[in-house]
Amino acid sequence: MGIPVVDLADFLSADPIRKAAFVKSIGKAYEEVGFVAVKNHGIDDTLIADLYKYVQQFFSLPLDKKKKYEKPELAGQRGYTSFGKEHAKGSNAADLKEFFQFGQTVEDDDPVKSEYPDNVSVEEVPAFTPTFFKAYRAFEKSGSELLKSIALYLGLDENYFQGFLHNGNSILRVIHYPPITEEPKSAIRAEQHEDINLITLLVGASADGLQILTKQNEWIGVTSLPEQIVVNVGDMLQRLTNNKLKSTTHRVVNPLREKWHTSRFSIPFFLHPKSSMSLACLEHCIDNNHPKVYTDMTAGEYLDERLREIGLKK
């Protein structure tokens, strides 16, 4: 499926016509599809290649070495989470994946630092942690610009989200779907779900498999070109906009049998605000035709609720 493509260079240009056209295009895409492919996103190709290289080195380690970096008390928010621990909301079937998560590094005197656990450093792959840090900052910057455009589309001040994003609770996740070694119980590697956060930035996965559910209730495969990233709406933005911008249901399916011996790697960046941000529906997204759908809740409260629903928090 050719999902809508936008060029972030248009938004960052000094040309108000190009900028306005970008805002209109991304808003229309998010209302109608929920996903866009973004060109000129500002995340360096070399950095992405390095990230994949070190991620593959980490997941190639023996399980006992990887398990050293699993911290159950952190609910999967930092470090390694072993195979079969996470499931989609409403599903009892575990997703066929293992993953590693890297979070915010507070570098100023912001008191929010006390809310965040330290990141987990991997001894066996020395370049792993510094590469994660660089990638995290690059994703954060790109996502911040995209949220400026979304704010304008929603009729808000361009910088509406920015104070909530500084030292926000974003997560860089690297996922490994191991080779399939026996007849699977299901055709699904990651059951259908919606993301928790504001927006998700996804650099091209190492293999096909991502599908989105269209408004016609059809599953369509999504691929992006190497120089693009795919960015979708998450549930927090859906709540904030009272369903004006819809969080798109998506899943990952198993490959063809002849590719069962291959791994799939995927690197999403889940852009979260600070936990204190209110997700109360924006007043101008509520009217007689669109009554308020959601109760008031902060981003932190919503994240906590969802982590329990997907089995990462007890």
CATH code assigned at 46: 2.60.120.330
Answer whether residue 118 shows pLDDT above 50. Answer: yes
**Could you tell me if residue 188 is inside a domain?**
yes
As a whole number, mean pLDDT of residues 196-221 equals 81
As a whole number, mean pLDDT of residues 119-136 equals 96
**Could you tell me if residue 28 is inside a domain?**
no
Higher-confidence residue: 115 or 214? 115
Answer whether residue 109 shows pLDDT above 70. Answer: yes
Model confidence, pTM: 0.91
Cα–Cα distance measured from residue 278 to residue 234, given in angstroms and rounded to the nearest whole number: 15
> What's the mean pLDDT when you consider all of the chain?
89
- Domain residue limits at 127: 41-309
Higher-confidence residue: 310 or 283? 283
Give me the pLDDT at residue 75, please.
80
Give me the pLDDT at residue 205, please.
57
As a whole number, mean pLDDT of residues 294-307 equals 92
Provide the pLDDT confidence category of residue 204 given band limits of 50, 70 and 90: low
Q: pLDDT by residue (tens digit) across 246-264?
A: 888 888 887 777 777 778 8
Give me the pLDDT at residue 244, please.
94
Three-class SS of the chain: CCCCEEEHHHHHCCCHHHHHHHHHHHHHHHHHCCEEEEECCCCCHHHHHHHHHHHHHHHCCCHHHHHCCECHHHCCCCEEECCCCCECCCCCCECCCEEEEECCCCCCCCHHHHHCCCCCCCCCCCCHHHHHHHHHHHHHHHHHHHHHHHHHHCCCCCCCCHHHHCCCCCEEEEEEECCCCCCCCCCEEEEEECCCCCEEEEECCCCCCEEEECCCCCEEECCCCCCCEEEEECHHHHHHCCCCCCCCCEEEECCCHHHCCCCEEEEEEEECCCCCCECCCCHHHCECCECCCCCCCEHHHHHHHHHHHCCCCC
**Could you tell me if residue 256 is inside a domain?**
yes
Provide the pLDDT confidence category of residue 311 given band limits of 50, 70 and 90: confident
**Could you tell me if residue 257 is inside a domain?**
yes
**Could you tell me if residue 194 is inside a domain?**
yes
**Could you tell me if residue 115 is inside a domain?**
yes
Contact between 148 and 235 under an 8 Å Cβ cutoff? The reply is no
Structural domains of the chain, count: 1
Contact between 80 and 47 under an 8 Å Cβ cutoff? The reply is no
As a whole number, mean pLDDT of residues 145-151 equals 98
As a whole number, mean pLDDT of residues 33-60 equals 92
Q: pLDDT by residue (tens digit) across 8-29?
A: 999 999 999 999 999 999 999 9
**Could you tell me if residue 146 is inside a domain?**
yes
Provide the pLDDT confidence category of residue 274 given band limits of 50, 70 and 90: very high
**Could you tell me if residue 51 is inside a domain?**
yes
Lowest-confidence region among 76-80, 158-162, 170-174: 76-80
Give me the pLDDT at residue 206, please.
47
Provide the pLDDT confidence category of residue 227 given band limits of 50, 70 and 90: confident
